[in-house]
Structures are given as structure tokens and as C-alpha cells.
Amino acid sequence: MRRDAIFSLLSLAAVLGFVMLAGACSPVGPGAGSPPPRAQTVSPLTGGPTASPAGPTTPSAGAQTPKPGTSASGESTPPPTWITEAQAIAAVQAFAPNASGLHVTRSEVVPSGRSYRVQSEGILAEVDEATGQVRMFLDNAAMPDSTSVRLTKDEALAAATAWLAGHTVSTSGLSPTVTLRDHGSTQEYAVDFGGRVNGARVPHRVSVSINPLTGAVYAFVLFTRPFVTPPAPTLTVAQATAAAREEEKDPRAKVTSSDLAIAFDASATQILVYELDLTRTDGFYAKVQVDALTGAVTVLGRG
């Protein structure tokens, strides 16, 4: 694969949540340690509750995702029936009908669940072993190889929407954002579909990469994970920014982006966080996650 393909794949992996968590620090700011209220389990596909609670809600020790083998109510659930390698290859074949030599290279555990990696000379894909859904797809042959741009943003959105419909990928309840990204030697249209609950970005995202010259879809990511409706944040974005700067020991670090999002910690417990990108005064970059309820800081990466 070309270097551009590898770059795009790393970007897609970041979207899927393959970033390792490290460097958690002590809680800071008001509300540290206060428990969030119980919330309803939300369907990633609709953004609505999966069931109405019986009676008024009460405080709990925190909003947690169900543990494997149990339902949200704690009852045991049967284990999923995993698809076979042949079924995983067939799922990818539907995305790339002309691909030849597809084979499973490995089975692994990723943050969203167990996954088959399927690839050939120019195709790379990840298939969910429980559902058979293609969660990531990259077609090296369709990637842009120049900086030429022929499509408008509206045309890129139309191309992405039509491709997703043709592959039965729902974006119901999600809003699109179209960005023309310059990678130096190439450009791409990134069409991202996402949603929010109580102001927080939900863990259900669909991303499509479009060749801006040909209109071809060359990459796709589906990230979906069950979640519960989050409480209101205890910290403000200003307090989260101050905590991030304190962690970096740089009070003048520039925040280039910030967002409130539903996330999950290393034990698969749901958390509400501010995600911040900082450029430090020494020129280095840091991606920092600040718990919006406790103020705990986690450094996701530096460079």
C-alpha cells in the first residue's frame, strides 16, 4: 500500500477507537467523585432509549455498559453466535465485488468487540465477528493520487449518501459534516455522520472518504457502541482546558479543538469527557481527555 493509504488507515483506526489510554491523573476541579444519575440505555442506530425505565430514576454509582454475558438489568444473556471466516469474506466481497484473493489474516479483540481482518492485495477490511457488519473498509485502488478536486461538497455528500444506502448502512438520526482535507500530495473529502445527546457526541459514527477527483468511495468506518444517556457535565470547558494545560505544565498551550463526548475507559465503563487538542508553546502536540464529571485527566497522545 502507498504511504497515503497507510496514513488514511491510521486515521480510520483512530476513529474506531484504537488509541491506547495512558497517563490518568488525579481528579481536579469541582464535583470530583460525585456520582452521575442513572440514565437510559440508548440505541446507537436511533439515538433514542431502548426501553422506558419503570418509575423515577435514582442516583447510581455511575453509568456503566452491561458486562459480557449480562443484560442491562443484570440478567444472563446467551453468548453471540460468531460468524465464520467464509462469512466475513463474503461480507467484504459485497463491498468490493471485483476483489480477488480475499482472505482472513487474523482475528482480534478491538474496543468495539471481536473482529476479523480481511484483506487482499489492495483491500483491507474489519468485520464484526458477532454481527457480520463491515466496520472498516479501505480500497487502495480508489484512493486519490493527486491534489485535483472536481467535486463540490454537496456532490461529495451525495456520493457518500448513495454509497451508504447501497451498502445498507443507516445514518438515521445522524448529521453529516463534509470536510476537504489536504494531505499534501493528495486531498480527500471526509464525510462524517454523527449525533449528540444532551450536547455530548454519541459513540455512533459513520465516516466515508471520497476521492475528490473521481467521486469514488475509497474508505469507510462504522463505529457503534451501546451507551446510556449522559448526565450534564460538572466541569465547564474552561475548567477542562485549565486541567489539560496543568497536565501539560504549559498555561499558554493553545487549544485547537475541544468537544464533549461519550467515551469508555479501559474497563469498558462509560464516561463523559472533554476531548481537547493542544499545541504547546514548545511546538509539540497533545491530545488530552478530561472527565467532565470528576476532572480526571488522561493523555491520549503526544507528538
Asked if residues 218 and 143 have their Cβ atoms less than 8 Å apart, the reply is yes
Q: Residue 33: its pLDDT value, please?
A: 38
pLDDT confidence of residue 274:
98
Nearest to 243 by CA among 295, 165, 172: 295
pLDDT of residue 29: 38
pLDDT of residue 24: 33
Taking Cα atoms as reference points, which of 245, 249, 257, 284 lies closest to residue 29?
A: 245
Predicted local confidence at residue 111, as pLDDT? 65
pLDDT of residue 266: 87
pLDDT of residue 78: 60
Residues 23 and 11 reside in one and the same domain: no
Same domain, 219 and 260: no
Domain interval for residue 303:
19-39+230-303
84 and 174, same structural domain?
yes
Who contacts 247 (Cβ-Cβ below 8 Å, separation ≥6)? 23, 25, 288, 297, 299
Residue 57 C-beta-side C-alpha neighbours within 13 Å: 16
pTM value?
0.68
Judgement on whether residues 217 and 112 belong to the same structural domain of the protein: yes
**Residue 134 and residue 144: Cα distance in Å, rounded?**
22
For residues 189 and 119, membership in a common domain is answered with yes
Amino acid identity of 21?
L
Are residues 258 and 164 located together in one domain of the fold?
Answer: no
* Same-domain pairing of 219 and 234: no
User: Does residue 123 form part of some domain?
Assistant: yes
Domain count of the fold of the chain: 2
Within-domain flag for 49 = no
Q: Do 97 and 90 meet the contact criterion of CB atoms below 8 Å apart?
A: no
Residue 278 near residue 300, CB atoms below 8 Å: no
| Boundary-marking domain end, from 227, 253, 288 | 227
The cell for 297 is 485527566
Give the pLDDT score at 108: 81
pLDDT, one tens digit for every residue, the chain (303 residues):
454 544 444 444 444 443 322 233 333 333 333 333 334 444 444 344 333 322 333 333 344 444 444 444 455 556 567 899 999 999 999 999 989 999 999 888 876 678 999 999 999 999 999 999 999 999 999 999 999 999 999 999 999 999 999 999 999 989 999 999 999 999 999 999 999 999 999 999 999 999 999 999 999 999 988 999 999 999 999 999 999 999 999 999 999 999 999 999 989 899 999 999 999 999 999 999 999 999 999 999 998
Q: Check residue 42 and give its pLDDT.
A: 45
The CATH number that applies at residue 238 is 3.10.450
Adjacency order of strands within the sheet including 196-197 = 196-197, 200-201, 254-264, 270-279, 285-291, 297-302
pLDDT number for residue 132: 93
Same domain as 220, residue 235: no
Tell me, yes or no, whether 65 lies in a domain: no
Q: Are 186 and 130 in contact (CB under 8 A)?
A: no
